[in-house]
Amino acid sequence: MLVVEGLVKTHRTDGTEVRAVRGVDLRICPGEFVAVTGPSGAGKSTLLHLLGGLERPDSGRIWLGGRRVDILSEARWAALRRREVGVVFQFFNLVSTLTVADNIELPGLLAGHPPRRVRERRRELLTELGLEGKEDSTPAELAGGEQQRVALARALINRPAVLLADEPTGSLDSKGTREVLRMLSGYHQRGQTIVLVTHDANVASTADRVVTLHDGEIADDISFTDPPPTGQAAAHVVRLLG
């Protein structure tokens, strides 16, 4: 699904260079739920943004579904992202002046899908995510967990090949966190490929594979091919984070 070779990204601010990603190699198979974790400043979000074409690498190569994508133009990357990549952010990034329905439908319409099909898909997602009756609400009228579920619906409207989630529970309370993780786990069980960035060991333990970054490099990569004993995955991530 996703293959990365020798990925490098340097951020330049006020004349200072920070190597955020340092020669990362990574392969993510269809249907995997991968958590990318590590301490603050480890390069987690930068890596996710590179995978989704939101940032460009200084060097290295990225393949999505067998197609090399790091060489695409901005316009072609944007078109591919609308079709193949769903992105969920920590602070929802919903359009405050649009209703829930309009926020969810927007990517589908931009991708050129027939409006009727987009509306049907939106109704399906609202039902699956427990948001029936919220179609005409604005984001400000929703709780944090509800807003993130709307953002999740928006990311899934085009049935993306891969879902990228950047700290999707970082601004939620414990109830909202449980809701979003339950939704992500449910979609993973139905075959959705997910890459989730988090600094939270308990959130990371929801995944069946945990990739740990330190100083922009992969420090560890462990798969839980069978359901681990309660707390095993979380305890492993806690050890890695020190």
Select from 166, 151, 169, 168 the least CA-distant residue to 106.
Answer: 151
Are the C-beta atoms of residues 157 and 108 closer than 8 Å to each other?
yes
Q: How many domains does the chain have?
A: 1
User: What's the CATH number where 113 sits?
Assistant: 3.40.50.300
Sheet holding 2-13, edge to edge: 16-28, 2-13, 59-64, 67-68
**What integer pLDDT is reported at residue 176 of this predicted model?**
84
Query: How would residue 159 be classed by pLDDT, with cut points 50, 70 and 90?
Result: very high
- What's the average model confidence in pLDDT over 95-104? 95
How confident is the model at residue 233, as a pLDDT? 53
pLDDT above 90 coverage of the chain, percent? 62
Predicted confidence band at 235 (pLDDT cuts at 50, 70, 90)?
Answer: low
**pLDDT > 70 fraction of the chain, expressed in percent and rounded:** 93
Instruction: Determine the average pLDDT of the residues in 109-129.
Output: 93
Among 149-153, 165-169, 199-203, 236-240, name the one with the lowest average pLDDT. 236-240
pLDDT at 169: 87
Is the pLDDT score of 127 beyond 70?
Answer: yes
The C-alpha atoms of residue 129 and residue 146 are separated, in whole angstroms, by 9
Q: Which domain holds residue 6?
A: 2-241
